[in-house]
Chains A and B, each alone.
Chain A
Amino acid sequence: MLKYNFKYELKLLLRSRWIQLLSLTLLLLFAFSAYNGKQKVEKRISVINDALLEEEESDVMMLALIDSVNQGLDVSVPRWTVPTSPTAIGNYYPRVASMEVQPLALIATGQSDLFTPYVKPRISGDDFALNFTEMTSPVQLLFGSFDLAFVIVFLLPLLIIAFSYNVLSAEKESGSLRLLASQPIGIQRWLLQKLALRFMWLSLLVVASLTIVFLLLGIEFLSEAGAFFSLLGLTLAYMLFWFALAFLINLWVGTSAKNAVSLLGLWVIFVLLVPSVLNQLGNSLYPIPSRTLMINEMRTKKTEVSKKQDEILDNYLRDHPEYAINDTTETRSFWHRYMASQKLVREELAPVVNTYESQLQRQQDLTKNMQWLSPALTIQESLNSLAGTSSADYDHYRKQVVAFAENWRDHLLPYLYNNQEITMDDIVELPAFQFQKRPVSMTATILPIILLSAGVFILGLIVARNLYKGQKLIHS
């Protein structure tokens, strides 16, 4: 039976123009979304490159200024920005800590719309409260970005529904099911073969369309074969899930109209409702303290400590005798007091910041643990991870930036408290930020989705068995 289904299913699909329509739709959707994604990625890369270029130019100026000072020449910059001072280096010649753009970043915008692709931690910055948020269009937040992940997660299931909702019911409604059922074949097996063939054709179209689009847009995907195959694996596993649902509904429900409504209902549940409910649940169970209040508290704290900076500095130097080697009250500047008070502010605000972060973490953990309720959510998260734009990726990056900021400060503070000037030799020793990519594995995602799909298929077979016993499959 498979050979004949294989031979004639393609003929039927070609003659009904389904294959042609699907190919065109997929090509257009993939091309448009990949183009959008590529534009965004190029913008991010350009922003990072501009920042790195600016850093280079700034470094050239910094070296020139140090050289001039060393030669005893007058320099035409404000005194507090002369780079022989550690605080001038720390504040006016910061390093760029950029989040490296991943090769397949175009597939999912993820959190990249909300966060800046680089930061420049300064010695006086509030890096402990970093979150890199940018102003974002509320309309974009509402509808998301038209990227490949959007097409795969939201639109591809709709194409699958349109392609498969009436495979059995159309036969029933046209009357050909009675002729089919009078043959020595099992109808559920026949349906399984028909859907498997449609899955195979659609998979081929998806793979071909993605390959063509990537080639046309000049995306280097062959050098990142692992990531590209992960993208294909995720997409095919997700498609399999929707075909499994179509199989179940075709057997269970009955008329084409009811099948379509049922599958669209499942689409609403899995793609819209479950992710939204989980998000809401996270907000209700683990509410995040207001960021505005946190910033206000930080400002209040700073005002308080600025009033007693001398006392704080004395305490600080008592705690850090290594910084007090050359200390005399005469050499104490604004920065000595400020940096000491910053530490106090940091310590006193730690509980507030920790609450903020831990609540956010709990929210993310809840979504992560419950994501199996919706394969759409799982796939979206995985595509974001593949693109390097997931919440986890930004959190990973944020931690690296915080660690780097601390390193930057710790490197420069001994110069400040020892009243030591920065020389040309010290410049090469300045810390540089090196982004480390978060390791991801897609097998952990693909396998459960395949198992979930297999479960739905088995449920379909059980349903068919019961219906066949009651003869409802053909005679309803």
Chain B
Amino acid sequence: MIRTTDLTKKYDQLVALNNLNLSVDPGEIYCLLGANGAGKTTTINLLLGFISPSSGSASIGGMDVFENQKATKSLLAYIPENLMLYPSLTALENLDYFSGIAGRKLPKSRLELYLNEAGLQGEAFDQRISTFSKGMRQKVGIAIALAKEAKALLLDEPTSGLDPKASNEFGQLLQKLREKGVATLMATHDLFRAKEVATHIGIMNGGQLKQEFAANDISLSKLEQAYLETMDYKEELS
């Protein structure tokens, strides 16, 4: 569903992403781990078509992202680190607006169903977003993805700044989406959450994908060791 082939992005002399090859199939959650500047957000931006690649290609649902922007965007949903919705609109209104402009005209009952499925309490449906915590906003973001019936989900540090309970709830929501066959690519610093939710994990550094694992094949401690080795933090291990 999500695929990159030799995807490269250069800014003058700086190589932000170097020959990235990855694939996320339906029902998979691929977590990209890496420090700041590793190339995770660049990958997401390229898949969203926000920036154009220097070379290589990226596709969603078999369609090239840069050639078929509208078609690929109708297949994907995106939740950034800080999901900014319209603060003076309610959760229901935000969901209605974003679904509507994406071409999904849904009755109120369906919208409520999606908000409910995303884990938002009923009394919050008609509250303005300005009163919401970050965790609640992320749930509205998931509801937008659900309402859009997205086949691919791109997440950029979605659990950053969430308390453990909210982060855990978010992980559970991702599992629900996985069960629905959504292909998820999540960029994160959170090794624990990655190990918990991912089916596949990739570690990036300096714009390159250094290591890849099947999440079931590696323990959390091994993952941490691999991450630190990749980040050249060997001295800390000793």
Q: A interface vs B, CB < 8 Å? A: 1, 3-5, 7-8, 11-12, 15-16, 174-176, 178-185, 190, 471, 474-475
Q: Give the residue of A3, A8, A175, A475 whose beta carbon is less than 8 angstroms from that of B80.
A: A175
B35-57 interface mask toward A, CB cutoff 8 Å, 1 = contact, 0 = none?
00000000001001111100000
Question: Could you tell me the dominant secondary structure of chain A's interface residues?
Answer: helix
Structural contact, A8 and B97, CB atoms closer than 8 A: yes
Closest to A14 in B: B88
The answer to whether A178 and B51 touch (CB under 8 A), given A11-B89, A190-B101, is no
Q: Give the residue of A4, A8, A174, A471 whose beta carbon is less than 8 angstroms from that of B50.
A: A471
B63-97 interface mask toward A, CB cutoff 8 Å, 1 = contact, 0 = none?
00000011101101110101111101100010011
CB B202 to nearest CB in A, in angstroms, measures 22
B100 proximal to A (CB < 8 A): yes
B98 proximal to A (CB < 8 A): yes
Q: How far is the CA of A69 from the CA of B175 in the complex (A)?
A: 116
CB B78 to nearest CB in A, in angstroms, measures 4
B107 proximal to A (CB < 8 A): no
CB B42 to nearest CB in A, in angstroms, measures 10
CB B25 to nearest CB in A, in angstroms, measures 21
The 4 A-B pairs with the shortest beta carbon distances in the complex, nearest first, are A4-B100, A175-B84, A182-B78, A184-B74
Structural contact, A179 and B78, CB atoms closer than 8 A: yes
The interface residues of chain A lying within 8 Å CB-to-CB of B89 are: 8, 11-12, 15
Can you identify 23 A-B contacts, CB atoms within 8 angstroms? A4-B96, A4-B100, A7-B97, A8-B97, A12-B89, A16-B88, A175-B84, A178-B48, A179-B83, A179-B141, A180-B101, A181-B48, A183-B98, A183-B102, A184-B69, A184-B70, A184-B103, A185-B70, A185-B101, A471-B50, A471-B52, A475-B50, A475-B51
Closest to A3 in B: B100
The interface residues of chain B lying within 8 Å CB-to-CB of A474 are: 50
**Residue in A16, A175, A178 with the greatest tally of chain B CB atoms within 10 Å:** A178
Identify 7 new A-B residue pairs, CB closer than 8 A, beyond the known A179-B83, A180-B101, A185-B101.
A8-B86, A11-B93, A175-B84, A176-B84, A178-B50, A184-B73, A184-B103
CB A176 to nearest CB in B, in angstroms, measures 4
Q: Give the residue of B51, B52, B80, B101 whose beta carbon is less than 8 angstroms from that of A183.
A: B101
Q: B interface vs A, CB < 8 Å? A: 45, 48-52, 69-71, 73-74, 76-78, 80, 82-86, 88-89, 93, 96-98, 100-103, 141, 144, 154
Structural contact, B102 and A176, CB atoms closer than 8 A: no
Closest to A183 in B: B102
Structural contact, A5 and B101, CB atoms closer than 8 A: yes
Q: How far is the CA of A184 from the CA of B72 in the complex (A)?
A: 8
The interface residues of chain B lying within 8 Å CB-to-CB of A7 are: 97, 100
The answer to whether A1 and B100 touch (CB under 8 A), given A8-B93, A175-B80, A475-B51, is yes
Q: How far is the CA of A298 from the CA of B181 in the complex (A)?
A: 98
Q: How far is the CA of A405 from the CA of B141 in the complex (A)?
A: 81
Structural contact, A178 and B78, CB atoms closer than 8 A: yes
Structural contact, B88 and A12, CB atoms closer than 8 A: yes
CB B107 to nearest CB in A, in angstroms, measures 14
Closest to B102 in A: A183
CB A473 to nearest CB in B, in angstroms, measures 9
Structural contact, A184 and B102, CB atoms closer than 8 A: yes
Structural contact, B101 and A1, CB atoms closer than 8 A: yes
Q: How far is the CA of A378 from the CA of B177 in the complex (A)?
A: 60
CB B214 to nearest CB in A, in angstroms, measures 29
Closest to B77 in A: A182
The interface residues of chain A lying within 8 Å CB-to-CB of B80 are: 175, 178-179
**Residue in A1, A174, A179, A181 with the greatest tally of chain B CB atoms within 10 Å:** A179
Q: How far is the CA of A175 from the CA of B50 in the complex (A)?
A: 14
CB B63 to nearest CB in A, in angstroms, measures 12
The interface residues of chain A lying within 8 Å CB-to-CB of B52 are: 471
The interface residues of chain A lying within 8 Å CB-to-CB of B85 are: 176, 179
Q: How far is the CA of A185 from the CA of B71 in the complex (A)?
A: 10
Q: How far is the CA of A190 from the CA of B107 in the complex (A)?
A: 23
CB A374 to nearest CB in B, in angstroms, measures 37
Q: How far is the CA of A130 from the CA of B82 in the complex (A)?
A: 73
